[in-house]
């Protein structure tokens, strides 16, 4: 039987070409993903370890222990001192040691504005350090500066350029860029960037003293562990000491977590591709088994048992799966190399790093491809054992196994699946947006897809009859194509399912993407009916104006339950690398900027904007956080100069127009049981309370805080006199260019102020959504390509089965062109039905997913994208029919008629 099986494979190898291609593409995605992720991870490890292992031990200050009081301002971790550094240097195990000073400094871009929402980390490096310049050299005096390579890329500065940096007093200093330093994936420097100053200059620029890190080299004869233990003994509980390798592994593990997330996401798309490939494989083997009934029956007649026939079919699938998987692994290595070469630099990977090909990537590709092939062939193999020898010998070589109709049991089961899916979707829409909604919708989509598979033949028959009405009148080829499509609806349904999967996913995601963009754009328009928002940069104290990066007053539950000091310090610590150090601005005095001014927009900006004729409204925003009795933190806001009704806040009860002195608007669910007209007790920092009348309950999805009248806010928080944000709205007839110029002129003397344009925010949102859509669509496009191979294979096998029929049509007068056109129309019909069903499911479940996730979502169906997809489906059908059509048209009429 094995020799018979292998001989059959050699004889009919052309029948498996598209099946091999389907498996190859799926395995290629799996192996390519693993190769790319392994290479990326190895690059991160090499980058981190390369810097960390350049020293033998690393000591960083220990994090202070908190009291557990959420209202307590986080303590600043202690710096390591000169005395501690001297003690480390005096150890016999130490050959050399130096400290790294780390603060923050404001870097101005080429337009004189502060670079980034977070000031870059400002470092001072000495001889013993884990960092070295990739280009140029480290600064040697107070006139030079080195930039992180990421900072240089974003600002456009290079070696030899002159840059301007603000010191702690906000005074400008010019430096010449002496070198560029690659800080790798060090979390302290990856977000906000970094710059390196001369050790003699750092204190004057940042008001920072002490060391954020001490790097140590081991003396000859001592191991890394010994020197780390010795340093730990000297520094005690003031520092956490590890070897260079341990320090690097800890950072690489953090970077590897991001890589694993990327690997998981890409493998999800690979799973989709393999699922579609499995459908194609099943369809191919089902048709082949049906067409080989006489061959299998002959084997049974000459003594082959059912088990031998079953093993023969599975052996075919194993051989096909192994060969295709091996080719897929080879292609996956190429894809992984291409991803590392072109996509790696976008993710911070160094160029020229060798590709990592792990045994796991190879074995996974081989196993996945082979297992999917064998599992997909199980049902056809079982069907092959049911061939009755004598009955099969009396039939012609047609796919009789696929000619059965659709019984009432299948109809009932399919309708039940659709009913269950409909109920699940209805529940998500009635219950409102929550975290479980998207998962329920996904489950509903899977259940509905089962219904499509079960009722596929009926769907095909109905769609073909509907579409076929006008086609029958076009010509003979069209009429024959319609009849051929309805003659074997189960085969057509099985072939179209693969395309339906891809069409559903792409259409569903396009609906989700377009709806999310429309909904968020509307929320931006309603919540921020302004043209510009001005906020301070994150200050060197580690705190900032709330939501400076989004221009939004919205927030999450975590925002409400955490004090602003905790949020700001943590964010600046991770991004700018201050580690909560003493990077505070100097106290008010000559030549200095008061600390409060660094967190607020100067009044002069407000006044300058009010005097501009192109500006209609200038509004401030002031925020405070208060702790409630149950330990929650409420954000209390007021908007001087702005009618809160114009801010887009939505009330679920009451009227915001009634807000005034002695009145308050509270988010629904945070009013402590007080309804409209009730009393809300606002706690203050001194332990007292202010009783206010509730005039409106706010939609908690639109705001996270309590709204007060300016007078009440000033009385409750007299120390907060500055605005942490200023909103600007131009006049109706204002020229956009003039308005922009007016806004930037107003902040010209304050380079650290960040200006956000609402139009730019909307454009950025649209651009981000478009990039995400096209990226995901490209990945899902692989499933579409595999589905097209499946349809092409179905057409090819159908042509092989109908050889005598095609010859008879030719003998009756059908031309070669008409025969090719007939097959092309069959393939186009098949693709259109698969795409149409998928588009319908995608629109329904895309809409359901958006409604289950976003409140007041706007359903947006991207007609242009769907139209493009329909065109692609038509072209795919034409492409799938090219080779089968040429083969059918090229067959000898007399030879085919005489073959049986």
- Please name every residue paired with 122 in a beta bridge, in sequence order, or none if there are none: 103, 195
599 closest CA partner among 548, 635, 555, 553: 548
Could you tell me which of 432, 617, 452 has the C-alpha nearest to residue 531? 617
Tokens of 149: 């390579």
pTM over 0.85: no
Q: What is the pLDDT of residue 9?
A: 63
Nearest partner of 121 among 181, 62, 191, judged by Cα: 191
Residues 180 and 146: beta-carbon distance below 8 Å: yes
Using alpha carbons, select from 164, 189, 354 the residue that is nearest to residue 255: 189
Residue pLDDT, tens place only, 736-764: 888 888 888 888 888 888 787 777 776 76
Q: Which pLDDT belongs to residue 574?
A: 34
Tokens of 894: 């007399």
pLDDT tens figures, 818-836: 888 888 888 888 888 888 8
How many angstroms separate the CA atoms of 839 and 622, rounded?
48
- Rg (C-alpha) for the chain, rounded Å, is 35
Q: Are the C-beta atoms of residues 716 and 692 closer than 8 Å to each other?
A: no
Beta bridge partners of 623: 637
Overall average pLDDT of the 692-711 stretch? 78
Closest among 50, 47, 34, 45 to 340, alpha carbons compared: 34
Q: What angle do CA 409, 414, 419 make, to 5 degrees?
A: 125
120: number of CA atoms within 13 Å, CB side?
29
Tens digit of each residue's pLDDT (9 = 90 or more) over 336-369: 888 777 766 655 555 556 777 888 889 988 998 8
Return the structure tokens found at 62.
């220990």
Selected residue with higher pLDDT from 197 and 70: 197
Mean pLDDT over each residue of the chain, to the nearest integer: 77
In whole angstroms, what is the distance from residue 634 CA to residue 452 CA?
A: 50
Tell me if residue 329 falls in helix, strand or coil. Answer: helix
Kindly indicate the confidence band of residue 159, based on its pLDDT and cuts at 50, 70 and 90: very high
Q: What is the DSSP string of 432-472?
A: -S-TTHHHHHHHHHHHHHHHHHHTHHHHHHHHHHHHHHHHT
741 token code pair? 């110029």
Per DSSP, the three-state class of 248 is: helix
525 has pLDDT over 60: yes
Give the whole-angstrom CA distance, residue 741 versus residue 751: 15
Which pLDDT score, from 0 to 100, does residue 227 have?
93
Q: CA 499 to CA 777: how far, in whole Å?
A: 14
Tell me, letter by letter, the H, E, C secondary structure of 25-77: HHHHHHHHHHHHHHHHHHHHHHHHHHHHCCCCEEEEECCCCCCCCCCCCCCCC
Within 10 Å of residue 542's Cβ, how many Cβ atoms? 25
Residues 628-646 have a mean pLDDT of: 74
- The pLDDT of residue 266 is above 80: no
- Are 230 and 93 in contact by the 8 Å Cβ rule? The answer is yes
């Amino acid at each position: 039987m094995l020799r018979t099986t292998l001989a059959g494979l050699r004889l009919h190898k052309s029948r498996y070409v598209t099946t091999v291609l389907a498996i190859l593409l799926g395995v290629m995605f799996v192996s390519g993903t693993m190769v790319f992720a392994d290479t990326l991870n190895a690059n991160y490890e090499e980058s981190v370890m390369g810097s960390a292992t350049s020293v033998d031990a690393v000591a960083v200050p220990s994090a202070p222990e908190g009291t557990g009081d959420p209202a307590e301002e986080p303590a600043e971790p202690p710096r390591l001192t000169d005395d501690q550094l001297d003690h480390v240097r005096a150890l016999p195990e130490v050959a050399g040691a130096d400290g790294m000073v780390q603060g923050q400094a404001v870097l101005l871009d080429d337009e004189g504005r502060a670079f980034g929402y977070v000031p870059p980390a400002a470092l001072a490096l000495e001889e013993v350090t884990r960092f070295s310049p990739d280009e140029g050299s480290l600064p040697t005096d107070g006139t030079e500066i080195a930039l992180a390579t990421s900072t240089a890329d974003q600002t456009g500065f290079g070696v030899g350029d002159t840059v301007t940096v603000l010191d702690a007093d906000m005074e400008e200093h010019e430096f010449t860029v002496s070198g560029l330093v690659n800080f790798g994936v060090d979390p302290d420097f990856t977000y906000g960037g970094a710059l390196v100053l001369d050790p003699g200059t750092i204190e004057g620029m940042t008001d920072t003293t002490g060391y954020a890190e001490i790097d140590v080299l081991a003396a000859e004869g001592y191991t890394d562990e010994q020197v780390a233990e010795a340093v730990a003994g000297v520094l005690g509980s003031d520092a956490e000491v590890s070897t260079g390798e341990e320090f690097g592994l800890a950072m690489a593990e953090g970077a590897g977590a991001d890589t694993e997330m990327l690997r998981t996401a890409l493998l999800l798309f690979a799973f989709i591709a393999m699922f579609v490939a499995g459908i194609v494989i099943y369809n191919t083997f089902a048709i082949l088994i049906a067409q080989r009934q006489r061959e299998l029956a002959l084997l049974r007649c000459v003594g082959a048992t059912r088990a031998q026939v079953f093993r023969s079919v599975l052996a075919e699938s194993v051989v096909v799966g192994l060969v295709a998987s091996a080719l897929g692994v080879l292609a996956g290595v190429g894809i992984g190399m291409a991803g590392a070469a072109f996509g790696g630099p976008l993710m911070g990977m160094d160029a020229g790093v060798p590709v990592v090909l792990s045994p796991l990537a190879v074995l996974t590709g081989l196993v996945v491809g082979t297992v999917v092939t064998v599992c997909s062939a199980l049902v056809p193999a079982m069907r092959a054992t049911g061939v009755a020898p004598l009955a099969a010998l009396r039939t012609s070589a047609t796919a009789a196994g696929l000619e059965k109709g659709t019984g009432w049991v299948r109809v009932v089961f399919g309708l039940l699946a659709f009913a269950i899916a409909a109920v699940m979707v209805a529940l998500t829409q009635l219950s409102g947006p929550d975290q479980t909604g998207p998962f329920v919708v996904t489950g509903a989509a899977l259940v509905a897809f089962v219904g499509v598979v079960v009722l596929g033949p009926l769907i095909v028959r109905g769609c073909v009859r509907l579409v076929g009405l006008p086609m029958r009148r076009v010509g003979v080829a069209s009429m024959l194509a319609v009849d051929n499509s309805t003659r074997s609806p189960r085969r057509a349904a099985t072939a179209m399912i693969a395309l339906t999967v891809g069409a559903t996913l792409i259409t569903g995601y396009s609906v989700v993407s377009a709806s999310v963009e429309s909904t968020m754009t509307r929320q931006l328009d309603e919540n921020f009916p302004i043209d510009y928002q001005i906020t301070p940069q994150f200050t060197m104290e580690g705190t900032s104006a709330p939501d400076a990066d989004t221009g939004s007053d919205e927030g999450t539950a975590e925002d409400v339950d955490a004090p602003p000091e905790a949020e700001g310090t943590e964010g600046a610590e991770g991004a700018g690398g201050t580690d909560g150090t003493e990077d505070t601005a100097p106290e008010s005095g000559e030549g200095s900027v008061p600390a409060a001014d660094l967190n607020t927009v100067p009044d002069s900006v407000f006044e300058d904007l009010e005097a501009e004729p192109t500006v209609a409204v200038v509004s401030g925003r002031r925020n405070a956080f208060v702790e409630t009795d149950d330990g929650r933190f409420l954000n209390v806001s007021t908007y001087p100069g702005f009618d809160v009704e114009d801010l887009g806040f939505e009330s679920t009860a009451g009227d915001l127009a009634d807000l005034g002195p002695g009145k308050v608007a509270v988010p629904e669910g945070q009013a402590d049981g007080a309804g409209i007209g009730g009393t809300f007790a606002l706690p203050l920092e001194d332990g007292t309370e202010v009783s206010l009348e509730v005039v409106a309950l706010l939609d908690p999805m639109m705001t996270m805080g309590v709204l007060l009248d300016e007078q009440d806010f000033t009385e409750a928080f007299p120390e907060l006199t500055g605005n942490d944000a200023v909103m600007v709205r131009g006049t109706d007839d204002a020229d956009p260019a003039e308005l922009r110029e007016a806004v930037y002129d107003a902040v010209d003397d304050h380079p650290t102020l960040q200006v956000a344009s609402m139009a730019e925010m909307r454009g950025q949102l649209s651009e981000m959504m478009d990039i995400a859509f096209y990226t995901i669509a490209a990945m899902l496009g692989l499933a579409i390509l595999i589905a097209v191979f499946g349809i092409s294979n179905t057409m090819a096998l159908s042509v092989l089965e109908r050889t005598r029929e095609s010859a008879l049509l030719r003998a009756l007068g059908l031309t070669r062109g008409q025969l090719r056109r007939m097959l092309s129309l069959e393939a186009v019909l098949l693709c259109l039905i698969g795409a149409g069903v998928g588009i319908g499911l995608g629109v329904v479940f895309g809409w359901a997913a958006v409604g289950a996730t976003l409140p007041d979502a706007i359903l947006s169906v991207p007609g242009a994208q769907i139209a493009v997809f329909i065109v692609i489906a038509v072209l795919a059908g034409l492409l799938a029919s090219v080779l089968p059509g040429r083969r059918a048209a090229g067959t000898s009429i007399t030879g085919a008629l005489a073959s049986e």
